[in-house]
Amino acid sequence: MASTISSSMPFSLLKIKPHQCHHRQLSNRSIDLSRPSAILNSRRLTAIGPQLTNPRESRRLFAVAEETPVSTQVSSSEAARKLYVGNISRTVGNEELKRVFDEHGAVEKAEVMYDKYSGRSRRFAFVTMKTVEDANAAIEKLNGTEVGGREIKVNVTEKPLQTVDLSLLQAEDSKFIDSPHKVYVGNLANTVTNDTLRKFFSEKGKVLGAKVSRVPGTSKSTGFGFVSFSSDEDVEAAILSFNDALLEGQRIRVNKA
């Protein structure tokens, strides 16, 4: 065979030697069979070797690995450990919330939600416990207890909406017109919608937009919302007329946002 190779052949082909291949890393190394870790490492190198000879095949194999149910299992486990904490005091921050839950299990993360417009606490938070057992213990011990002067609600976070079209909810929220003339409306009943809020406040001024805040990824109201007006006069009129007024069976709180 060697005599048939001419000098006219590509230089790269002349460099190829039959005994050299992608296992070259192993050719100069001896494996100590008395060490299990050495055997394991050699197996790993051997398994990786064949993939390197065919880049397309290696990409396909890695793609298949990414589609295994492992990530789904991890997210499902996290969902079972992640708790929704509602009706918290506006003065309660991440650290205080973590301390409260630490008394009933190991806390991985505590995060209070804040409104991006006003910077106010949205009166709810998410607490991720380290185990499902800790999460269940926290629900049993803390749901309905008083923290920061308010009776909190603790339960496993709701599953993403299955029956409600999220695109419709997003389209509805996108109609909200923000303005510097805006009020915060608290203690809303769960039945209050954007349209309910708009019609209620339209009696005392020109409403530009009305929006009930929801728990992310669900249709559940967080118990507050915002109403924007065209002027400061309308804002003052709304506060004077509607603060402590009844809306769908609950007395609402209205103040400047």
**Domain identity same for 55 and 89:** no
Q: Over range 27-39, report the average pLDDT.
A: 48
6 found inside a domain = no
Of 124, 156, 188, the residue at which a domain comes to its end is 156
d(CA 87, CA 125): 9
Under 8 Å between Cβ of 83 and 105: no
**Domain identity same for 146 and 170:** no
d(CA 254, CA 245): 9
pTM over 0.85: no
**Domain identity same for 48 and 78:** no
Q: Choose between 9 and 71: higher pLDDT.
A: 9
Residue 78 is predicted with a pLDDT of 77
**Domain identity same for 141 and 206:** no
51 found inside a domain = yes
**Domain identity same for 62 and 133:** no
Q: Is residue 152 over pLDDT 60?
A: yes
**Domain identity same for 194 and 238:** yes
**Domain identity same for 118 and 173:** no
Split into its structural domains, the chain has a count of 3
Instruction: Kindly compute the dihedral angle of the four CA atoms of residues 167, 125, 89, 104, in this order, to the nearest 10 degrees.
Output: 150
d(CA 98, CA 83): 12
Single-letter code of the amino acid located at 214: R
Mean confidence (pLDDT) of the chain: 73
Question: Would the CA dihedral through 101, 108, 114, 72 be positive or negative?
Answer: negative
141 found inside a domain = yes
The H helix count followed by the E strand count for the chain is 10, 12
